[in-house]
């Protein structure tokens, strides 16, 4: 019962945020210089055609009314049409081809980062102050200190140009070939994963060390439970709660990395789309992409909240 309440409240909160966020996006785009009518109709448009276009699309209405019109369209799945980037192509069609690639690369990177950080963070915490700890924390700091786009080029230099194990450019969408996607997506995923793994490993280590000091861990030892049992059920079980929480906060950095990495490796995803849209001043595309990114972050936060609530009975009961 308590959990359902919690879920309802969180979903309500996420919906409210996305509503407010979409308004913010709309407002920013509205403030951006340039007349959308002119952008669509081109330089040759006459005063009459522009006026007609503005009237038809409600561009003379107050911002709020325009926002409501746009929001209604978005709710019906119509994100408008691209004005510069892809002719008058519907943006929703663009997203359908782009979004899976971004999600694939993002999840791929996330999984790599999780695997590395779980191993490194746990090892460092278990051997606190020992060589393993020093090496792991040292590498982690290096990881968070390097720009991921630079690391991509280092990876390209070694694994693509020198060893030729992976392609240096281009990406096979998972829809075409899953194996191809894993192969061609490995370097970009690794580039995104490296700084993330550094951040995650540090958080996990700190959380484990902190939890190990709790009295319930001493209490568990006093019952004579074996060390691995205590570590798994007492230390690790409670340490992952803050770990998952902080993990959720990292999505906004993770997606920031995706934007650049996609351009480096020429992946046709959301990141390259929004950047290309920005250069082409294709506002509807940028607007739609920003909204999608917002939705992704909020969904991930929602999932993280739910996972935390399941892990930590104190949050809901």
Site residues for another protein, window 163-222 (CB under 8 A)? 213-216, 218-222
Q: Tell me the backbone φ, ψ of residue 130, rounded to 5 degrees.
A: -90, 180
Choice from 42, 77, 87, 224 touching another protein (CB under 8 A): 224
What is the DSSP secondary structure assignment for residue 256, as one 8-state letter? H
Regarding 145 and contact with another protein (CB under 8 A), the answer is yes
* Residue number, 107 or 226, with CB nearest to another protein: 226
Distance CA 48, CA 54 (A): 10
For 208-244, letters b (16+ CB in 10 Å) and e give bbebbeeeebeebeeeeeeeeebbeebbbebbbbbbb
Find the binder of another protein among 69, 182, 253, 307 (CB under 8 A): 253
Helix, strand, or coil (residue 179): helix
Residue nearer to another protein on the CB measure, 170 or 313:
313
Number of residues that bind another protein (CB under 8 A): 81
**For another protein, which stretch binds (CB under 8 A), given 45-53, 58-66, 108-116, 248-256?**
248-256
Q: What is d(CA 183, CA 227) in angstroms, rounded to the nearest whole number?
A: 40
Q: How far is the CB of 192 from another protein (least distance, A)?
A: 12
Among 83, 125, 244, 255, binds another protein (CB under 8 A): 255
- Cβ proximity to another protein, 89 vs 229, nearer residue: 229
The 10 Å CB-count burial string (b at 16+, else e) for 151-176 is bbeebbeebbeeeeebbbeebbbbee
Q: Which is nearer to another protein, 189 or 251 (CB)?
A: 251
| Binding residue (CB under 8 A) for another protein from 142, 178, 232, 303 | 142
**Residues numbered 90-109 forming contacts with another protein, rule: CB under 8 A:** none
From the list 33, 260, 57, the residue with the least C-alpha distance to 147 is 260
Q: By C-alpha distance, which of 245, 278, 242, 240 is closest to 259?
A: 278
Radius of gyration of the chain (CA): 24
Distance CA 136, CA 198 (A): 9
Q: Is residue 301 involved in binding another protein (CB under 8 A)?
A: yes
The region of 59-67, 89-97, 176-184, 278-286 touching another protein under the rule CB under 8 A is 278-286
Smallest distance from the beta carbon of 297 to another protein, in angstroms?
A: 5
- Residue burial 90-124, b: 16+ Cβ < 10 Å; e: rest: bbeebbeebbbbbebbbebbbebbbebbbebbbbb
**Smallest distance, Å, CB 262 to another protein?**
10
Name the minimum Å distance from CB 49 to another protein: 25
Helix, strand, coil: what percent of the chain each, to 5? 80, 0, 20
Q: Which stretch binds another protein (CB under 8 A): 64-72, 88-96, 110-118, 297-305?
A: 297-305
Q: How far apart are CA 308 and CA 316, in angstroms?
A: 10
Name the segment binding another protein (CB under 8 A); options: 47-55, 67-75, 117-125, 247-255.
Answer: 247-255
Which residue in the set 96, 232, 237, 303 belongs to the binding site for another protein (CB under 8 A)? Answer: 237
Does 73 help bind another protein (rule: CB under 8 A)?
no
Site for another protein in 10-69 (CB under 8 A): 12-13, 17, 20-21, 24-25, 28-29, 31-33
């Amino acid at each position: 019962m308590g959990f359902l309440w919690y879920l309802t409240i969180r979903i309500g909160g996420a919906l409210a945020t996305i509503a407010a966020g979409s308004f913010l996006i709309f407002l920013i785009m509205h403030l951006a210089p340039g007349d959308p009518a002119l952008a669509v109709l081109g330089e040759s448009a006459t005063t009459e055609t522009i006026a007609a276009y503005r009237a038809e699309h409600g561009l003379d209405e107050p911002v709020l009314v325009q926002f409501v019109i746009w929001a209604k369209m978005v709710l019906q799945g119509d994100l408008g049409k691209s004005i510069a980037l892809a002719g008058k192509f519907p943006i929703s069609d663009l997203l359908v081809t782009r979004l899976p690639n971004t999600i694939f690369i993002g999840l791929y990177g996330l999984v790599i980062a999780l695997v590395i950080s779980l191993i490194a963070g746990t090892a460092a915490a278990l051997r606190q102050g020992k060589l393993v700890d020093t090496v792991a924390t040292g590498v982690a700091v290096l990881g968070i200190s390097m720009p991921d786009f630079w690391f991509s080029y280092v990876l390209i230099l070694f694994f693509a140009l020198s060893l030729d194990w992976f392609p240096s450019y281009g990406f096979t969408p998972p829809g075409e070939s899953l194996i191809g996607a894993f192969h061609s997506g490995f370097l970009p995923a690794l580039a995104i994963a490296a700084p993330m793994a550094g951040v995650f490993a540090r958080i996990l280590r700190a959380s484990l060390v902190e939890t190990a000091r709790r009295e319930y861990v001493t209490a568990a030892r006093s019952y004579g439970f074996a060390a691995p049992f205590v570590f798994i059920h007492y230390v690790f079980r409670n340490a992952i709660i803050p770990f998952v929480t902080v993990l959720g906060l990292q999505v906004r950095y993770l997606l920031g990395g995706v934007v650049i990495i996609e351009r480096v490796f020429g992946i046709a995803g959301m990141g390259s789309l929004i950047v290309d849209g920005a250069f082409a001043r294709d506002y509807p595309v940028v607007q739609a992409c920003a909204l999608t990114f917002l939705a992704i972050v909020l969904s991930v936060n929602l999932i993280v909240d739910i996972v935390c609530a399941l892990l930590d009975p104190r949050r809901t009961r």
